[in-house]
Amino acid sequence: MDDFAIAKQCRDTMYDGDAALQLLDISVEVTATGCAEARFEVRRDMINGHGVCHGGCLFMLADTAFAYACNSYNKVTLAAGASIEFLRAAKLGDQIIAIATERHRGRRSGFYDVVVSNQDGEEIALFRGRSHSTQDPLFT
């Protein structure tokens, strides 16, 4: 298997057990080793008390892109920490995309930047995730 085939197999392995994706109707693809994209539409039940998309839902989208990006090497890799900056509100019906790219990958820890944008290409949030990888394979 080449690297990209491994990355896609990792995605499929995780996807099957990932109940949380259904919760927000998130779709996710790996686009290369270390890179992934996740999408959702802002539904009525993602709206918070201020009438806009809950920041936690945006985090979850970004975190998903991050998780699939850092798990594309066939090593079980966990989110160790993350930060997010909210730039603009997301509104009901918006089509949101989170694009994760790898910034650094060391022996155990990695750093991934995720940009969250809406259908007009406006940036909604910036996310930076830190991963910790184990030596266990995701699939054999």
**Binding interface with a second copy (CB under 8 A):** 13-20, 22-24, 44-51, 54-57, 59-61, 63-64, 67, 71, 76, 78-87, 103-104, 106, 109, 111, 113, 123, 126, 128, 130
- Residue 73: CB minimum distance to a second copy, A: 14
Quote the DSSP letter at residue 86.
E
Q: Go through 52-87 and write b for each residue having 16 or more CB atoms within 10 A of its CB, e for each that does not.
A: bbbeebbbbbbbbbbbbbbbbbbbbbeeeebebebe
Q: In this structure, are residues 96 and 42 in contact, taking their beta carbons and an 8 Å threshold?
A: yes
Q: Which two tokens stand for residue 59?
A: 């985090």
CA distances from 70 to 7, 34, 102 (A): 10, 6, 8
Contacts of residue 123, Cβ cutoff 8 Å, sequence gap at least 6:
87, 88, 115, 116, 117
- Which residue lies nearer to a second copy by CB, 18 or 29? 18
- Residue 70: CB minimum distance to a second copy, A: 12
- Residue 76: CB minimum distance to a second copy, A: 6
- Residue 62: CB minimum distance to a second copy, A: 8
